[in-house]
Chains A and B, each alone.
Chain A
Amino acid sequence: MSSSVISVCLLGLGAVVLLALARVVRGPTVLDRILAFDLIATAVVAMIAVLSVQWHTPLFLELILLYSLLGFVGTVVFTFYLHRTLPRRRSGRERSGAAEVPQEPLS
């Protein structure tokens, strides 16, 4: 495997992590941040796959399985937790300024 392909793939995945971190910082709601962390977990799994292509070893396959499992379980746990605790937003027409305030500490 030529090393330029590996370098391009790792640079692209690093750019993916940076863009997703920008969404984590900017994201208006907490769900955007959950999506961005899901994408970061995917990019890290792809990085592990690219590195095991470079080293030509099957040793990291368990690491790939475990990391994808942990990312999925983390997303599901956050979603079920927020399903109980995230306050339901009022609809757009009858919006009042006070209805948006309880969402702020979570997001």
Chain B
Amino acid sequence: MIEGLASLFLLMGTAFILVAAIGLLRLPDVLCRSHAVAKASTLGIFLVLLGLWVVLGVEAAGLKILLAIFFQVATIPVASHLVALLAWDKNLPLWRGRQRPAAELDPEVEKG
């Protein structure tokens, strides 16, 4: 029971971090990539640490894992927000969408 729950949490967390990595590789500009990294990797590391908590039990190391979870959930979105703010401030090339004609597209935005 506890093993199955922990396995589910670990696999789901790994899958979410993998989704974050695929989004980091596939999305077109800095803001989209910071969006992918912030949301998916936060949920993924949350689930992995929750699986560790389920395995170890509360009496072994309850508060320390809760502190680690709190720290990850608090800091990953802050770091990603700082990166997105810097990208917006420095006017880095943005993705304009696919419906525009190709002449209006910013040529510095990497395709795919």
Contact = CB atoms under 8 A, between A and B. Distances in A.
Given A28-B108, A90-B91, A75 B79 contact: yes
B17 A16 contact: yes
B92 A1 contact: no
B93 A92 contact: yes
A1 B17 contact: no
Given A16-B17, A16-B21, A89-B92, A45 B45 contact: yes
Interface residues of B, number: 53
Contacts of A53: 6, 10, 51-52, 55
A65 B64 contact: yes
A61 B65 contact: yes
User: Interface of chain A, helix or strand or loop or mixed?
Assistant: helix
Question: Chain A interface: which size bin?
Answer: 35 or more
A72 B70 CA distance: 13
Interface of B: 3, 6-7, 10-11, 13-15, 17-18, 20-22, 24-25, 30, 33-34, 37, 41, 44-45, 48-49, 51-52, 55-56, 60-61, 64-65, 67-68, 71-72, 75-76, 78-80, 82-83, 86-87, 89-93, 106, 108, 110
